[in-house]
Structure 1
Amino acid sequence: MFDVPVSIAAALVGGLADVLQPVAGGLATALAIMLFTAAVRVVLVPLAVSAAKGERTRARLLPKVQALQKRHAKNPQRLQREMAALYEKEGATPLSGCLPMFAQVPFFMVMYRLFVSATVAGHQNLLLAHTLLAAPLGQNWIGVLGGGLLSPASLVFLGLFVLLGAVAVWTSRRVTAEGSMGLVARIMPFGTVAVAAFVPLAAGLYLLTSGAWTAAERAVLRRRIVAAA
C-alpha cells in the first residue's frame, strides 16, 4: 500500500539531503526530513484555512448552541438533532478543525515506513545509515536505551522530547474550546511526546516540525480569520 509513496519520499528526502550536504554536513538528512514535512504542510494549508473558518463559524454560533443546550438539557437526543440541524444550516461541522491532523496521517505513516524498511524499491535503504548527531534516524528511543539513559544517542531523543513538550504546552494553552472537546484538544498535543518514544527518530522529527508549523499556522489564521469574526 505504501510502497510507491515510500519510494517517492526516499527520493525526495535523499535528494534534499544530497543538496544540503555541502552546507549542513551531518545534519543534512535531518534537515531534509524537516523540509519534506514543511512541504507537506504547505500542501495542506487550504485545509487549515477551512478549519479556521469553521472555528470562526462555531464561535459565532456559540450563543445559539448554548441556548439549545439549556433548552434541551433533559433531552440529549433532541439536543443532538437540533445542533446537527444548526451546523448543517450554517455549513459548519464541529470536526472541521481536525481535518489538517487527519490529512497528515498518511504522510506520517510514509515517513515511518521509510525509516523502518530495510529496502526501498528493491534496493538497500541507505537512509537508515544516516544519523542526527549521535542518534540513528531509523532507531527509536527504546532501542538506544541499552547504551544508558544519558548516552549521546539517548540525549538526542531527550532533547527532541523537550522540544515536543514545549510545542505541546504552547499549543495547549491556546485552545479556546470548552467542555469535553476543549479538554481533549488540550491533552492531544502531549501525545506526540509519547509517540516519539516508540517511532524512529525521523518520524519524531516529522512530529516536531509539523507541531511547530501547526502552532505558528494557528496563530496567524486565528489573527487573520477567527479574530476578524
Structure 2
Amino acid sequence: MENQRNMILAIVLSALVLFGWSALSDRIMPTANPPATRIADGKTTPVATPAVQPVPVVKDTVKAIAATARVPFKNANVSGSINLTGGRVDDLVLTKYGQTIAKNSPPVRLLSPQGTPEAYYAAFGWTGPAGTVPDANTVWTADAAALTPQTPVTLQWTSPQGLRYAIRYAIDDKYMLTVTQAVTNGGAQAATLRPYGFVSRFGKSKDVSAWNAHVGPMGVFNAAANYKVNWKDLDEDAAGERFQTPGGWLGFTDKYWLTALAPAGTGALDAGFRASQGSYQADYAAQPQMIAPGATVQSATHFFAGAKEVGLLDDYAAQFNIPLLGKSVDWGWYEVIEKPIFRYLSWLFHLTGNFGFAIILLTFTVRLLLFPIAQKQFKSMAAMKIVQPKMKALQEKYKEDKPRLQQEIMALYKAEKVNPLAGCLPLVLQVPIFFALYKVLILSTEMRHQPFMLWIHDLSAPDPLTPVNLFGLLAFTPPQMIAIGVLPIILGITQYIQFQLNPQQMDPAQQQIFKIMPWVFMFMMANFATGLIVYWITSNVLTIAQQAWLYSRHPGMKVATT
C-alpha cells in the first residue's frame, strides 16, 4: 500500500513538472528554432521557416522595388537599394543567410518598401516649416549610379526657398551604413531645422519575446540598455515611449537580426518608439539648429541593418563609438559566463569545422575543469552509501520520533564526516554553464542552421528523427508534444543510468521520483535545441564513465549499494 502511494505521488509530481513546464517554457525559456528539416519516407528534406514568405508576397515586394528609381548597393554580406523617392533605405537582403537550410534557399529579406505586406525601412531628414523640407514624396537626385564600399553616394534636393539638402550614404563591407545629412542655406532668410531619423516596420516580429530573450523595440538610453518596451506597450499607449538621452541608439531586434539608428556624438536626443495601425516606429530627433544665409550644417547617423554577429557588434561599438551595441544580444545576468563560452565555442568550431563536435569538446573541457570537485562528489556519495545501513537502523529505531530522528542523523553525519549536500556542488556549478550554453544556442546567429552529422542538419532546432512515425517511414508528422526525437531518448537513457549509479534515496517517494525523472527530462528536452541535448548527453556519458572508474578503484563503494 505504501509503495503504491509513493508511486502515485511520484507520478503526480512528475506530471505537474512536465505539464507545468510545457505551459510556461515558451514564455520563460523558448526552447529552439522551428524544425529546419522534415524526415519522411526515410528522406530528410528542408522545411520552410515562418520567415519564408509566400510567392505572391515576394512578387509584390519585387514589383514595388522595380516601380521606383533607385540606387543599388552591394557588398559581401548584403544587397539592396535606396529609393530615390523619399531617400529611404527600404530594400535589403542578407546574402549570407538563407531562409532555410536548402542550398537554393532565397536569402533572408530584412527591409522592404512601404506598402508591401512586411514593410520595413529607414529614412532620414529634417523637420521645419512645411514646403521647406523634403518629405516622403520628395524625389532626390543621386550623384552616382551605385553605392559600394569604395564609392559613397550623395542624394540632393533643393527647396523653393533655396535650402540645398544632401544625404550622403556610405556602406562598409558588412552591415553598417553611415548617413551624413547636410543642408546649406542658399536663401536670404535664416532657417531653423531639426535633423531626425526613423526605422518603421509593419507588424511584429515572428520571433517570440521572453523574459530572458527580448525581441522587439530596444535601445540604449542614458548609457543603459533598455529591454522594457514591448509591442503591447506601444499598442496600448498612443503617446508611445520617449527618452531624453545624450547619444545612444535605438531600433528593433529580432532573435538574429537588428536594425539600429545610432546618431554620432553625444548630443541631446529626443528618442523613442510609437505605434499606429499595426506599424511600429523607432525614431530620434536631434536639437534644432539655426542656419544663417550661406551657412551649412550637418548631422551624421550610423545605421546598422544586419545579423547580430557577436564579435562584429563589439567591433562596431568600438569603431563607431556606439555604446553597448553588443547588448542587442540579450545575454542577461550570465553575460560574464555566456560570452566567454561563446568565444571558446566559436574557437572550437573554427578548429573542428563542426559545431556539434565543438559542443562535445566544450563539454569535455567543462567536465575536466570540474573533475576535482566531481571526485569529491563521488566520494561523498560513496560515504553516504556506506552509512545507509546505519541510517536505516536509526529510521527504524526512531520512526515514531521525527525530531529525535533528525538529531541522530545529523550526529551520524558528523561522526562519519559525511556532508549530504556535497554531491550537489558540481550540479550547482554546472547550472550557470548549462544556462549560458542554452542562451548561446538560441541567441547566437553563428549557431543558426549549423549541421552536426547524420540526420542532424540544424543544431539550433529540435531533433526531427522520431520513432513515433517509425523514423519518417509513416506518412504523418506527429504532434510536437509526442514527437520525441532519438537524441532526447538517448538523453533519458543516459540520465537513468546516471541516477542508478547514484546513492539510493532513503525516502521511498524520492526513490520513485528519481526513477521517473529521467523520462520526464526526456519529454521536457524534446523540443530544445539539439545542440543543448548533445551537451547534456555528453556530460551524462562522462559522468557515468567517471563513476565507473571510481567504482573500479574502490570496489567497496559498489558493494555498499547492494
Distance 1:59 1:163, change over 3 A: closer
Distance 2:434 2:378 in 1: 22
Which 10-residue stretch deviates more, 164-173 or 6-15? 164-173
Aligned AA for 2:547?
Answer: R
Structure 2 unpaired stretches of 5+: 1-332, 479-483
Q: Could you give the per-residue CA deviations for residues 27-66 of structure 1, whole angstroms, max 9, x where no partner exists? A: x110000110111011111122112221232233233222
Distance 2:402 2:545 in 1: 37
Distance 2:505 2:340 in 1: 41
The answer for the alignment partner of 2:340 in structure 1 is: 8
Which of 189, 194, 201 matches 2:523?
194
Q: Say which one has the larger Rg.
A: 2
Asked whether the 8 Å contact 1:56–1:226 carries over to 2, the reply is: no
Task: Confirm or deny that 1:93 pairs with 2:419.
Answer: yes
TM-score (normalised: structure 2):
0.34
Which of 44, 58, 66 matches 2:384?
58
Asked whether the 8 Å contact 2:494–2:540 carries over to 1, the reply is: yes
> Tell me, what secondary structure is at the counterpart of 1:168?
helix
Higher strand share: 2
TM-score (normalised: structure 1):
0.78
Task: Confirm or deny that 1:110 pairs with 2:110.
Answer: no
Aligned AA for 1:127?
Answer: M
Aligned AA for 2:422?
Answer: S
Q: Which has the higher contact order (CA 8 A, sep 6+)?
A: 1
Structure 1 unpaired stretches of 5+: 22-27, 119-124
Aligned AA for 1:203?
Answer: L
Distance 1:117 1:36, change over 3 A: same
Distance 1:111 1:215, change over 3 A: same
Report how far residue 110 of structure 1 moved: 0.7
Distance 1:49 1:193 in 2: 27
Distance 1:72 1:59, change over 3 A: same
The answer for the alignment partner of 2:487 in structure 1 is: 160
Task: Confirm or deny that 1:17 pairs with 2:349.
Answer: yes
Asked whether the 8 Å contact 1:14–1:127 carries over to 2, the reply is: no
Asked whether the 8 Å contact 1:16–1:32 carries over to 2, the reply is: yes
Which 10-residue stretch deviates more, 74-83 or 93-102? 93-102
Asked whether the 8 Å contact 1:13–1:36 carries over to 2, the reply is: yes
Distance 1:175 1:208 in 2: 17
Report how far residue 15 of structure 1 moved: 1.0
Distance 1:4 1:201 in 2: 24
Higher helix share: 1
The answer for the alignment partner of 2:512 in structure 1 is: 183
Distance 1:116 1:151, change over 3 A: farther
Distance 2:539 2:427 in 1: 10
Distance 2:440 2:423 in 1: 28
Which 10-residue stretch deviates more, 193-202 or 163-172? 163-172
RMSD over aligned Cα, in angstroms? 2.9
The answer for the alignment partner of 1:136 in structure 2 is: 458
